[in-house]
Amino acid sequence: MVGRYKVSIIGAGRVGSTLAYLLKQGGYSIGGMSCRREESARRAVEFVSGGVPCRDNGEAVGDSDIILITTPDQAIATVARQLRGARIDWKGRIAYHCSGCLSSDILSPLAEVGSAIGSLHPLHTFAQPAQTVSRWKGCYFFIEGDARARQVALEMSAALGGKGVVISPQQKPLYHASATMASNYLVSLIWLSLLLWERIGIPFSEGVSALMPLMKGTFEDIEKLGVASALTGPVVRGDLTTIKAHLQALREADKMAWQVYCKIGAVTAELASRNGLLSSQQREELLGILQAANAS
């Protein structure tokens, strides 16, 4: 079935170009690839070694079965309305967008004219298409939409070497907030750690090198041992003296880092306690110290 599908990309930027490249490798044929600027569309077609560069989104749809709208989130609604207004027979086609937060409801103008609609969010970073495809090992795709869109998205996920997981439209904001914490906010947390080290004379670049074995080891432990077993440090040791010393130092050094430490310290206490690594008495004591610090 895969080989019979033709896919058009509306908004062939980082995600659109990368998915088109990988779909082509997976046996799909690529139709029109549109961008606002001609040079962007040409660059995408060159990268994919397939497809037709377009500046007109309606023209890019052509005779494709699957339409992937990979414009920035804020352009998806406009594109859907614009495509609905174009002279296109939508029956038998499936339109998707790739936003993590928005549901497929935003494509309802296309459903009203006969298209199946869905969203397909690849849980992966897409900084540079060439780099992404060179280290591609598949990823999870979080999917929602009508029955046909869900079925075909599951097939596409498998053809892309990944795994599709169906969620509901209502779950998307929570799903995406969670993914944001696990990826973007993790970066922010590391940045904050590096800022603190800068205060004691460790430059950023050296700090990154120093933290890398620690961070990579933590990721490996999470993968091999599970989240709870990967947790080490003063919280699981119930070492309140060390935590008090941290709070004192952070309070003097950086108010934002101190607040973050208190909040994530409470989460860490919860994780440790729920997994039997901290007694309820130790948990209460620790939360008391963190809350008292926060209130003072």
Ligand X SMILES: NC(=O)c1ccc[n+]([C@@H]2O[C@H](COP(=O)([O-])OP(=O)(O)OC[C@H]3O[C@@H](n4cnc5c(N)ncnc54)[C@H](OP(=O)(O)O)[C@@H]3O)[C@@H](O)[C@H]2O)c1
Q: Which residues would be at the binding site for ligand X (CB under 6 A)?
A: 10-16, 34-37, 40, 57, 70-73, 75, 79, 97-100, 121-122, 125-126
> Toward ligand X, which CB reaches closer, 74 or 205?
74
User: Closest distance between ligand X and the C-beta of residue 54, in Å?
Assistant: 9
Q: How far apart are CA 141 and CA 147, in angstroms?
A: 16
**Minimum distance between the CB of residue 256 and ligand X, rounded to whole angstroms?**
26
Q: 25 vs 82, which CB is nearer to ligand X?
A: 82
Compute CA 270 distance to the chain's CA centroid, rounded to the nearest angstrom: 25
CB nearest ligand X: which residue?
13
Which CB, 78 or 229, lies closer to ligand X? 78
DSSP 73: H
Q: Of 56, 45, 128, whose CA–CA distance to 87 is shortest?
A: 56
Name the residue type at position 251. Answer: R
CB of 72 to ligand X, least distance (A): 5
Residues 6 or more apart from 71 whose CB is under 8 A from it?
A: 10, 11, 13, 79, 97
> Minimal distance in Å, beta carbon 103 to ligand X?
12
Residue with smaller CB distance to ligand X, 36 or 263? 36
For residue 12, the minimal CB distance to ligand X (Å) is 5
Cβ closest to ligand X, residue 59 vs residue 146: 59
Written as six digits, the tokens of 60 are: 């890019």
Q: Note whether 38 and 152 are within 8 A (CB).
A: no
Q: Which two tokens stand for residue 200?
A: 């004691």
- Min CB(100)–ligand X separation in Å: 6
Q: Is there a contact between 109 and 48 (Cβ–Cβ < 8 Å)?
A: no
Residue 9: name the closest of 69, 50, 64 by CA.
Answer: 69
Give whichever of 131 and 232 is closer to ligand X, judged by the CB atom: 131
User: Which alpha helices (H) appear in 26-56, and where do they start and end?
Assistant: 38-48
User: Can you tell me the distance from the alpha carbon of 70 to that of 114, in angstroms, rounded to the nearest whole number?
Assistant: 21
